[in-house]
Chains A and B, each alone.
Chain A
């Protein structure tokens, strides 16, 4: 049995006969699974069946989950985003997908429902391998919860692909929190360079207390390069992905810092 969300990854697999489920359960007419809800604590709850395109145009997402708004236009093409879903992308866990990294970098919590009841899984613990997640048999991802964005937050997503809309050869989701000119926290998560999104703890460790100069960001990029273990395939060699890891890490951290200045009130 497979569940059918946006179908933008699943249906091609059916077409290729990579999967032959005996039962396909269509989630598209369950209204409770869709919708974007602003939470009382300042956070956001995004229903799993929310179309990826919605992230590009929702005012609530612009305000409370700007990293998702920045990453969304990089996800495939408009036709894919019109049907593809936030929950589907996260549950599918493609190593080159943007939303898993966005979820981890945002400190998101994934709401899951199954035969044993409901539970929450932190995004950082959700992705366990290539196309593999912590979802158990019969469990369904129902919503993604984002914590209230801290004051001084700037976010950015940077990726490299051969053409717009291609799978990322490497990508980085960055969140930087500035107090005045000084970084008080930073998170960085890379995609396309390993089996799962890779969190780079050096981002926080090296950037706290700095003003995130080009040199600071480049130093984090070098830590990222050392940490990742990409594979080689017909699109890029492991060496090239390692090089890209350093580049997208640096670009994303600098862009996130610039955003933090740009979105400041007053």
Chain B
């Protein structure tokens, strides 16, 4: 079992830990860095609960080895709010009741961050295509789409 030191920036802060080379980024964030906002739904890349931004791009953190993130910038759900102030997307999810159990929510939020950065005024079709990789068992997605529309309007 080989171990190595992984150093990267997470939510703007340099973080470092020695891990088994087989450790996924998802497990590294949760167990080595204590950032448990990134969730494990399927651990094989189909549910999107583990979505984070890696150098700005949304990825499935259960499909990346932690060592591959060496030197990268990672944004997790913990990096969205500023102290007590929710990110506009988080506020919109709250206002539109776009979460129930909340398990899928961090993944949706990071996916939506990428979408709104690239498309200022996404249509419903744009939004549904963008969130296609995130599964929710509670909401039926309608309020999720409404929340992202609302946040797009707020930021525009």
Cα–Cα distance between A53 and B58 once the two chains are bound (Å) = 11
**Per-residue contact bits, chain B 108-139, to A (CB 8 Å; 1 contact, 0 not):** 00010010000000000000111011000000
Contact of B63 among A7, A53, A78 (CB under 8 A): A7
Q: Assess the B133–A77 pair: CB atoms within 8 A.
A: yes
In the complex, whether B43 has a CB less than 8 A from a CB of chain A is yes
Which residue of chain B has its CB nearest to the CB of A84?
B63
- Other-chain contact of A78, B43, B62, B68, B130 (Cβ < 8 Å): B130
Contact of B64 with A79 in the complex, beta carbons under 8 Å: no
Interface membership of chain A positions 1-34, coded 1 if the CB is closer than 8 angstroms to chain B and 0 otherwise: 0001001100110011000000000101000000
In the complex, the answer to whether B62 meets A15 with C-beta atoms within 8 Å is yes
Number of residue pairs across A and B with beta carbons under 8 Å?
Answer: 64
The one of B45, B51, B54, B67 that contacts A8, using a Cβ cutoff of 8 Å: B45
List A contacts of B45 (CB < 8 A): 8, 11-12, 15, 80
List residues of A (132-175) whose CB comes within 8 Å of B's CBs: 163-165
Known contacts A16-B44, A163-B132; A78 and B60 CB within 8 A of each other? no
Chain B hits for A7, CB < 8 A: 63-65, 68
- The residues in B between 33 and 49 inclusive whose CB is less than 8 angstroms from any CB of A are 43-45, 48
**Interchain CA distance A78-B65 in the complex, whole Å:** 19
* A82/B62 in contact, CB under 8 A: no
- How distant is the Cα of A222 from the Cα of B111 in the complex, in angstroms? 41
Query: Does chain A have a CB within 8 A of B59?
Result: yes
Q: In the complex, A8 Cα to B44 Cα: how many Å?
A: 9
Partner of A11, one of B57, B63, B130: B63
Contacts of A53 in B (CB 8 A): 57
A83 touches B64 (CB 8 A): yes
Q: Which residues of A contact B (CB under 8 A)?
A: 4, 7-8, 11-12, 15-16, 26, 28, 53, 73, 76-80, 82-83, 163-165
The chain B residues found within 8 Å of chain A, CB to CB, are 24, 43-45, 48, 51, 54, 57-60, 62-65, 67-68, 111, 114, 128-130, 132-133
Task: Give me the 10 closest cross-chain CB pairs, A-B, nearest first.
Answer: A77-B133, A82-B57, A12-B44, A11-B63, A165-B132, A15-B44, A164-B132, A79-B133, A79-B58, A12-B45
